[in-house]
Chain A
Amino acid sequence: MSVPAIIMNNVKKSYGSGETRVEVLKQISLEIPVGDSVALIGRSGSGKSTLLSLLAGLDRPDAGDIFVEGENIALMTEKELTQFRASKMGIVFQQFHLVSTLTAIENVMLPLEILKIPDAFHKANNLLQSVGLSHRRDHLPSQLSGGESQRVAIARALATNPGILFADEPSGNLDEDTGSTVMDLLFQMVEKTKTTLILVTHDQELAQRCRRIVHLEHGRFV
């Protein structure tokens, strides 16, 4: 039996201090098998993005363990965590977060070059081709539309063949049609690469496209 993609045990997280302290996640546990697609839904402030930040190693829990592909990322040093995240995870953000001074292809090449993976240019070029943007590869983010930017972000997130892809409201900044096209592409790519998908969304319809839906409310799964 293969190791689950993610195991989360009794994870707690709070922000602020004293009277302003807010407990965002209240001792929650979750297990996600490899290749699964999970939608995290909930109202604003329910803690879903906090949960995503902990799973993706962008932040650390106050308590509890988070195993990603069998390794406890809560115990890793900053350096180990950075290295682990770069090689095992891909993230797609609502705001796209393309590096403003790099072109589309350079943005896709970026994770490959950081990990010193050879032939970065051709791999990035193929990925841009697969998201339908090879004609825009030398454009800067400021010269791309929202939909195009998000497609570049998807290509970048999948460039290193990560085991897990985190997507934070990937269509949240796009109009309905563009959002729909981008999400089709995302699911297609995930399916093709057998990547585990964890999707944060408000959109019930979009959540339905995942195999599993996890509902978060006031820092607990319901």
Chain B
Amino acid sequence: MKLRFFLSKELKKYPLFFLIFFFTTLLGTLGLIGISLISGRIQEKLQESANELLTSDISVSARREFTVIEQKILFDVLSVYPNDHYHVIDLYSMVSHHRKKSSRLVEIRSTQAGFPFYGEIILRDGEFNNQELYISQDLADQWEIDVGEILKVGDVTMKISGIVVRDSSLGLRGFSLAPRIYFPLEKLSATGLTKPGATGSFAYHFKLKTFDPNNIKDIKSLLLQRIKDSAIKITLPTDASEQTGRVFNIITNFMALSALIGLILSLVGVFYLYQSHLHARLRDLCVLNLYGLSKNTIALGILFQYSIVFFIVIAFELIGIVPLYQALAPTLSENLGFELGKAISFWRILKDLPFLYLLSLLILLPLILGLLRTEMGVQIKAQKISLGRFRFYDFFPFAFFLWIFSNYLARSFRTGSIFFFSIFVVFILSIALVKIGQWSIKKLVNGKGLSLPFIEFGIALRGLMRSGHKLTLSFLSLAMGAALISLILQLDVMILNEFLSDNKKPSLFLFDIQEEQLGPLVFLARENETPLEFITPMIRARLEKVNGQKFIKKKQDYDFRSSEEDEADRFRSHALNLTYRNYLTKAEKIVEGASFPQKGSSDRLPYVSIEKRWASRMDVSIGDRLTFDVQGVEIEGLVRNIKEVKWTSFYPNFFVTIEPGVLDGAPKTFLATILSVPKEKKLSLQRASVDKFPNVSFIDVEELIIKLTNLFTKSRKAIELMSWLSLTIGLIILYGLSHDQVYRRYYDLALLKSLGLSPWRLRINLLCEFGVVFFTAVSFGLLIGWSMAQIIGFEVFKLSWSIDWERILYPFLLLMLLCLSTILIASWRAVQSRPRELLSDI
């Protein structure tokens, strides 16, 4: 009965409050619900196609052919479980087309009978078998070639037997280095492409005759125990889907964090709304308390009322999101480069709902505690009624849970924590800036008249100087929205600049050059007027020991893996490519330690230079002794320095560089680049090279950059959408705050009018007061966003510092215009009304 009071009477009595509350919560949760839906759909799709992606129940692979012993262990372990199997080799190599006189890098997949166990390879005409050459539709489109034409793959020429129109094992690739062709495994060795040093993957795939997920896990753990070499990788369907989904996960996690900012802003709004609401009706609550409703019941009623509105919002969203999602799905699919489909899983949304609900409740905790601390008996007699004070530690549960939620959404402890502490720092900086601003205004106006420089501004300055926490809230909501927009816009331009602005970026990247091919290739390139640059040896090695101790690979079977665990696992592999040289490329910078001396010495161990992230993941530091296995020979070196590498430079970069001398005679291949040259020269070199050096692969860096830029542009649009949603929430909250502040000062405005300020002068006064807040908050937000973009750009993408004034100025002007319009709209009625309400008995 008592609770029913809150539901029926209250909703009727305060319709505007509930309406604003409804929309604030709606917009705040909409972003997260939407993201939850999209990421859920991606996960579902990945799970649905997990087996198809791998093509089998379990795959065991390496970047080299398996040794006889490894093969024996593998088949021994699998022999316990009746199975079918096949071998698959994937290589990257150049292929050429005689009629087109053109060549390009492709992914060559060579399979045996039975492939694929799961999924399908559909040809435009005919049936797939493992004895023919098939090319993908995109390669056919690029070259405008068809069935029956001849391709040269390595040393073998073969007729195209079909065009692959659907390949379920390609999965949801956001990005691929090269189009795929299918080539018979039996003929692969004849191509000459499988020489040592070739870039590829050698895999055995198994399908159990009686499938049991537990058996699969047992097989995996048994293989991990028996095959000690970390170069051997065991993949289950779930791992395959996780890997394929990584790009999408990064995008959706980033979008989720942007949406979380929207939610935080809306919660700031909800907090403020409820504070004003409770304050406005505190006397009613005191009366209820006087007539027997305990404070606990009142608090419970408020929470209940809040929960009802919250769940109405969620129900509204769940109903509305189906048509909305179905309308947006085609555009979203196009932008993500991934077919989302129109089906919706409500379970995914419902799974996140308890988090969302708890977070929303916890923001009210300080107010509820304040209410419980209110001495209602005293308040009812007081002239000025006031809610019990809340303490700063009342916010701790909310802050703690926000941190947990950030980690959950980012699926990363590091990213989630950085996000949380960034928000915290922005919050603290906002408070500090507001306080410093107020102190500065106080110094400025101290002892001066009101007309500083004109009366509207003078009054505005005093309003700012003496405003309380509401000023900080307005500042914060706007600054955070502006920061997010600025972050996205600046990061965007930094990444695009990085890819597009460097004229000295290589135009072609060559790899798999055999030692004996180097001389003739250098000659050929010079003849073609496209000289090879940055010719760099590449040696396949394995990290065996650190300071004389066997390097232990810590590989685990995770049920839930964070982004860091994924990355660490990839890094922790023993196998690596390294080089020897005693100079740094333009893309390298020593961050710790000293560079190699010009001359080596036989009296000491050769020096080693290691990449910063690799050092951190392998837990190796300066002064450590590293022992590498190079083709069965142990080479020991001393870590001399740690370097940062700009991987986007497309120069031949390595995690590990060893001082020249000790590795000079080791078996190796070479990498090289060709600087920007005309397209015709580029093509002629590739044509000539494919004939003479079929195993040498070329990556067209310009083509790659276009692909990367397209991929980035697509994901950027989705992220930008989230940022604008957050900013819209920020503006709505700002509207609410401005509206409330204007109406709290309704009598002040009426009085100023009665004393001679016209409505337009009053508006100037408000524009001055709020304009100062907007100006500083937007500037601060844009600056913070820019700084964060520089930090993320440098730390994550290794990008150079940059500033794009247009992307600061235009959002600044737009935001100022939006904010000032907001205040004009919010105050319109209050300013326009006549001041007769000032009198007592109207």
Contacts of A58 in B (CB 8 A): 754, 834-836, 838-839
Q: Is the CB of B450 within 8 A of A106?
A: yes
Q: Is the CB of B839 within 8 A of A82?
A: no
Q: How many angstroms from the CA of A113 to the CA of B752 in the assembled complex?
A: 12
CB of B792, distance to nearest CB on chain A (Å): 40
Listed stretches A29-37, A43-51, A180-188, A204-212; interface member: A43-51
Q: Is the CB of A101 within 8 A of B754?
A: no
A172 at the binding interface (Cβ < 8 Å): yes
CB of A25, distance to nearest CB on chain B (Å): 12
Contacts of B148 in A (CB 8 A): none
Contacts of A82 in B (CB 8 A): 753, 756-758
Q: Is the CB of B834 within 8 A of A59?
A: yes
Q: Is the CB of A97 within 8 A of B751?
A: yes
Q: How many angstroms from the CA of A102 to the CA of B462 in the assembled complex?
A: 7
Across the two chains, which residue of chain B brings its CB closest to A97?
B751
Given the known A-B contacts A99-B748, A102-B462, A109-B450, are A52 and B839 also in contact in the complex, defined by CB atoms under 8 Å? yes
Q: Is the CB of A95 within 8 A of B747?
A: yes
Contacts of A116 in B (CB 8 A): 451
Q: Is the CB of A49 within 8 A of B839?
A: yes
Contacts of B841 in A (CB 8 A): 44-45, 48-49, 168-169, 200
Across the two chains, which residue of chain B brings its CB closest to A54?
B836
Which B707-760 residues sit within 8 Å CB-CB of chain A?
745, 747-748, 750-759
CB of A151, distance to nearest CB on chain B (Å): 17
Interface string of B449-463 (1 = CB under 8 A from A): 111000100110011
Q: How many angstroms from the CA of A168 to the CA of B262 in the assembled complex?
A: 48
A110 at the binding interface (Cβ < 8 Å): yes
CB of B389, distance to nearest CB on chain A (Å): 16
Contacts of B839 in A (CB 8 A): 49, 52-53, 58, 93-94, 168, 200
Contacts of B449 in A (CB 8 A): 109, 113, 120-121
Contacts of A1 in B (CB 8 A): none
Contacts of A114 in B (CB 8 A): 455, 755-757
Across the two chains, which residue of chain B brings its CB closest to A60?
B834
CB of B736, distance to nearest CB on chain A (Å): 20
Q: How many angstroms from the CA of A4 to the CA of B449 in the assembled complex?
A: 36
CB of B438, distance to nearest CB on chain A (Å): 12
Which A52-68 residues sit within 8 Å CB-CB of chain B?
52-53, 56, 58-60
Q: How many angstroms from the CA of A93 to the CA of B747 in the assembled complex?
A: 11
Q: Is the CB of A78 within 8 A of B840?
A: no
CB of B487, distance to nearest CB on chain A (Å): 34
Contacts of B842 in A (CB 8 A): 49-50, 53
B333 at the binding interface (Cβ < 8 Å): no
Across the two chains, which residue of chain A brings its CB closest to B832?
A78
B528 at the binding interface (Cβ < 8 Å): no
Q: Is the CB of B840 within 8 A of A93?
A: yes
Contacts of A10 in B (CB 8 A): none
CB of B67, distance to nearest CB on chain A (Å): 82
A76 at the binding interface (Cβ < 8 Å): no
Q: Is the CB of B458 within 8 A of A172?
A: no
Contacts of A52 in B (CB 8 A): 839
Contacts of A75 in B (CB 8 A): none
Contacts of A168 in B (CB 8 A): 838-841
Across the two chains, which residue of chain A brings its CB closest to B751?
A97
Q: How many angstroms from the CA of A177 to the CA of B467 in the assembled complex?
A: 34
CB of B766, distance to nearest CB on chain A (Å): 12
Contacts of B757 in A (CB 8 A): 82, 114
A147 at the binding interface (Cβ < 8 Å): no
Which B672-704 residues sit within 8 Å CB-CB of chain A?
none
Given the known A-B contacts A48-B841, A99-B752, A140-B466, are A113 and B458 also in contact in the complex, defined by CB atoms under 8 Å? yes
Which A110-163 residues sit within 8 Å CB-CB of chain B?
110-111, 113-116, 120-121, 140
- In the complex, which of the residues B455, B466, B836 has the most CB atoms of chain A within 10 Å of its own CB atom? B836
CB of B11, distance to nearest CB on chain A (Å): 25
Interface string of B802-842 (1 = CB under 8 A from A): 00000000000000000000000000000000111011111
Across the two chains, which residue of chain B brings its CB closest to A45?
B841
Across the two chains, which residue of chain B brings its CB closest to A44?
B841
Contacts of B462 in A (CB 8 A): 101-102, 106
Which A66-98 residues sit within 8 Å CB-CB of chain B?
78-79, 82-83, 85-87, 91, 93-95, 97
A100 at the binding interface (Cβ < 8 Å): yes
Contacts of A79 in B (CB 8 A): 758
Q: How many angstroms from the CA of A17 to the CA of B699 in the assembled complex?
A: 80
Set B450, B467, B836, B840: member contacting A110, Cβ < 8 A? B450
Q: Is the CB of B840 within 8 A of A94?
A: yes
Q: Is the CB of B836 within 8 A of A53?
A: yes
Set A50, A93, A101, A113: member contacting B838, Cβ < 8 A? A93
- In the complex, which of the residues A58, A116, A200 has the most CB atoms of chain B within 10 Å of its own CB atom? A58
Contacts of A45 in B (CB 8 A): 841
Contacts of A113 in B (CB 8 A): 449-451, 455, 458
CB of B315, distance to nearest CB on chain A (Å): 38
Q: Is the CB of A169 within 8 A of B840?
A: yes
Across the two chains, which residue of chain B brings its CB closest to A56?
B754
CB of B197, distance to nearest CB on chain A (Å): 76
Contacts of B756 in A (CB 8 A): 82-83, 85-87, 111, 114-115
CB of B759, distance to nearest CB on chain A (Å): 7
CB of A23, distance to nearest CB on chain B (Å): 15
Q: How many angstroms from the CA of A49 to the CA of B465 in the assembled complex?
A: 35
Contacts of A56 in B (CB 8 A): 754
Across the two chains, which residue of chain B brings its CB closest to A120?
B449
Q: How many angstroms from the CA of A134 to the CA of B250 in the assembled complex?
A: 65
Q: Is the CB of A101 within 8 A of B748?
A: yes
Across the two chains, which residue of chain A brings its CB closest to B750?
A97
Interface string of B356-391 (1 = CB under 8 A from A): 000000000000000000000000000000000000
Given the known A-B contacts A95-B747, A113-B450, A120-B450, are A172 and B840 also in contact in the complex, defined by CB atoms under 8 Å? yes
Which B746-801 residues sit within 8 Å CB-CB of chain A?
747-748, 750-759
- In the complex, which of the residues B463, B755, B757, B835 has the most CB atoms of chain A within 10 Å of its own CB atom? B755
Contacts of B450 in A (CB 8 A): 102, 106, 109-110, 113, 120
Contacts of A44 in B (CB 8 A): 841
Across the two chains, which residue of chain B brings its CB closest to A142?
B384
Which B102-134 residues sit within 8 Å CB-CB of chain A?
none
Interface string of B43-80 (1 = CB under 8 A from A): 00000000000000000000000000000000000000
CB of A137, distance to nearest CB on chain B (Å): 12
Contacts of B466 in A (CB 8 A): 100-101, 140
Q: How many angstroms from the CA of A120 to the CA of B834 in the assembled complex?
A: 27
Across the two chains, which residue of chain B brings its CB closest to A84?
B756
Across the two chains, which residue of chain B brings its CB closest to A87?
B756
Contacts of B455 in A (CB 8 A): 113-114
Contacts of A78 in B (CB 8 A): 758-759
Contacts of A87 in B (CB 8 A): 756
CB of B392, distance to nearest CB on chain A (Å): 22
Q: How many angstroms from the CA of A106 to the CA of B463 in the assembled complex?
A: 12
Contacts of A93 in B (CB 8 A): 838-840
Across the two chains, which residue of chain B brings its CB closest to A170?
B840
Q: How many angstroms from the CA of A60 to the CA of B835 in the assembled complex?
A: 11
Contacts of B755 in A (CB 8 A): 85-86, 110-111, 114
Told that A95-B838, A113-B455, A168-B840 touch, could you supply 16 new A-B pairs with CB distance under 8 A?
A: A49-B842, A82-B753, A82-B756, A85-B756, A99-B748, A99-B751, A100-B466, A100-B745, A101-B459, A102-B459, A102-B462, A109-B450, A110-B450, A111-B755, A113-B450, A121-B449
Closest 6 CB pairs of A and B: A86-B756, A49-B841, A94-B840, A53-B836, A59-B836, A113-B450
* CB pairs A–B below 8 angstroms (25 shown): A56-B754, A58-B836, A59-B836, A82-B757, A83-B756, A91-B754, A93-B839, A94-B839, A100-B466, A101-B459, A101-B462, A101-B466, A109-B450, A111-B756, A113-B451, A113-B458, A114-B455, A114-B756, A115-B756, A140-B466, A168-B840, A168-B841, A172-B840, A200-B839, A200-B840
- List chain A positions with a Cβ less than 8 A from chain B: 44-45, 48-50, 52-53, 56, 58-60, 78-79, 82-83, 85-87, 91, 93-95, 97, 99-102, 106, 109-111, 113-116, 120-121, 140, 168-169, 172, 200
